[in-house]
Amino acid sequence: MSPKRARAAMIISGLGFLALAATLALTALEDNIVFFRAPSELARAPVEAGIALRVGGLVGENTVRRDGLNVRFQITDLAHDVEVRYTGMLPDLFREGQGVVAEGRFDTAGVFVADTVLAKHDETYMPPEVAEALKASGRWQADARHPGEKTDPAAAYGASAK
């Protein structure tokens, strides 16, 4: 075999190996990939029952219903709502009007059954996906601090950091 053919064979077999490795990696990760959706996105394009996803937005006002560890509430982006059912301990910061992301699946009745509920961790933080969904729905508060935005501690006390 000439050196030119040997090099071509090596390149082709290397590309084949990379394609096989990528296919195996994606197949292995397929069950662990979870997509984020806002209530407005779900209203436009519903997801079939049983598919894992994250739903994020704000906990709807006057929607939290507790029965022991069973909790029902709505997640809203102020344009559309998603009914959520969760069994377990909710985060301490979970409350109406606060940002939340729930991970789970829709049941056949169209109720989102959450396996995990995550609440925002302080009064200024909002998950980037939720902020983008609120911006897209036209409900973003312009005076609110944006996700990831740095604050000047000195400015909080009326002083300049200069």
Q: What are phi and psi of 114, to 5 degrees?
A: -85, 135
Average pLDDT over residues 108-131: 78
pLDDT tens digits for range 95-118: 898 889 999 999 999 999 999 999
> Looking at residue 135, what is its pLDDT?
77
Residue 46 has pLDDT above 90, yes or no: no
Domains of the chain: 33-143 (2.40.50.140)
Q: Which residues are registered as beta bridge partners of 70?
A: 67, 87
Q: Over the range 118-135, which residues count as b (16 or more CB within 10 Å of their CB) and which as e?
A: bbbeeeebbbebbbbbbe
Residue 132 has pLDDT above 50, yes or no: yes
> Looking at residue 18, what is its pLDDT?
94
- pTM listed for this prediction: 0.61
